[in-house]
Amino acid sequence: MSFENRSFGGNRSSESGTLLERGGRDYFNISGHSRKRRWIPLSLLILLLVVFLGAYSYYRSQVDGGSSNQKVTLTVSSGEGLSQFANLLALKKVIGSSLIFKIWLQTQPAVLLRTGSYVFVKDESFHKVITTLTKGPLLDKLTVPDGLTLAQIAVKVGKIPGHSAADFLKVAESGQVRSPFEPKGVNSLEGLLYPDTYSFDPSTSNRAILQLMVNSFDSHAKAIGLTPKTVSNGLTGYQIVTMASIIEKEALYPGDGNKVARVILNRLSSHMKLQLDSTVFYALGNNVSHLSLADLQINSPYNTYLHHGLPPTPISIPSQAALEDALHPATGNWLYYVVVQPDGKEAFSSTYAGQLANEKLAQSRGLG
């Protein structure tokens, strides 16, 4: 009985010990497994955090840019999209990564990319790049001073990228753009463009540029009371512009313009030839600095030494002052004038004898 009890007791003890061992193994296995489960996710989390912080830091460095002051001028071609332009921005080092720029763009409002040139800075922030693009391209500028001819204006336009002097002249003389001052049968904008500085988008066509200049002329002429229907001193609006274009070239001294206007009107009313050097210069294409006797015989409708009346078209673009002088000539009976002062001031006379005396005075001052 005691033996069985001991056997039985031993068996329980054995079974109990087995359970403890299993329990111990299970405990340690579970404990060990638990430690591994905690350690692996934590290491991955730290690694991911380090990667994320590094990536974000790089991303921000690209978005924020640097502090370079090196300017870069880039041109957006016609039909080019922002994605394509981003590659050029990266190539020219305006931005560091075109890929990150494109990703960043997905978080921004849409940008309209317009054809033309833009000035950026190397290593620029994405926000500044977008601000520059949003403002639009650099505007082309065309400065047209008083007294230029249509051909001379065309040369200036031809120096603007994307424009041609020949095409500008062709459009100006084709009737595609007309001025309300042009009479029937005249297809030339000579003298009908306003002298000014014009700013326009690089994509602006020659036709649009001409229309802009014609509109400016019309508004400035209207402001001083000159319209296509104006009739003054027996001259039509177009003839007044033609006379103003001559005044622009002949009156070198401020204040002499209205006197020159009177001389022209007096000669016209007396059926005298105008005999104006400026019209012969125009006939010669303004390619000479002095006129010879042979030049005065050139067979051209613009040669007022040979033909009576005003030339068929203006010979330059008149300033607003010249237009006003043509509208409001001085009162006098002068028929002649000549420069007698180094500053361009002219002496006026009503007789040929008076003109000869003034010419002698001019020669004595080295102005002949």
What's residue 251's pLDDT?
Answer: 96
**Angle, CA of 181, 183 and 186, to the nearest 5°:** 110
Q: What is the pLDDT of residue 110?
A: 86
190-214 pLDDT tens trace: 999 999 999 988 888 999 999 999 9
Instruction: Give strand pairing partners of 205.
Output: none
Which string of DSSP letters, residue by residue, matches 97-140? -HHHHHHHHTTS------SEEEEEETT--HHHHHHHHHH-PPPE
Mean pLDDT score of the chain, rounded to an integer? 87
Question: Which pLDDT does position 78 carry in this prediction?
Answer: 78
Which residues are paired to 117 by β-bridges?
75
Between 223 and 288, residue with greater pLDDT: 223
Separation of alpha carbons 46 and 194, rounded Å: 72
Q: Which pLDDT tens digit goes with each residue over 292-326?
A: 999 999 999 999 999 999 999 999 999 999 999 99
**pTM to 2 decimal places:** 0.74
Using CA atoms, how far apart are residues 278 and 289, in angstroms rounded to an integer?
A: 11
Strand partners of residue 102? none
Contact at 8 Å (CB) between 38 and 72?
A: no
Judge whether 141 and 197 are in contact, CB under 8 Å: yes
Q: Phi then psi for 167, rounded to 5 degrees?
A: -70, -40
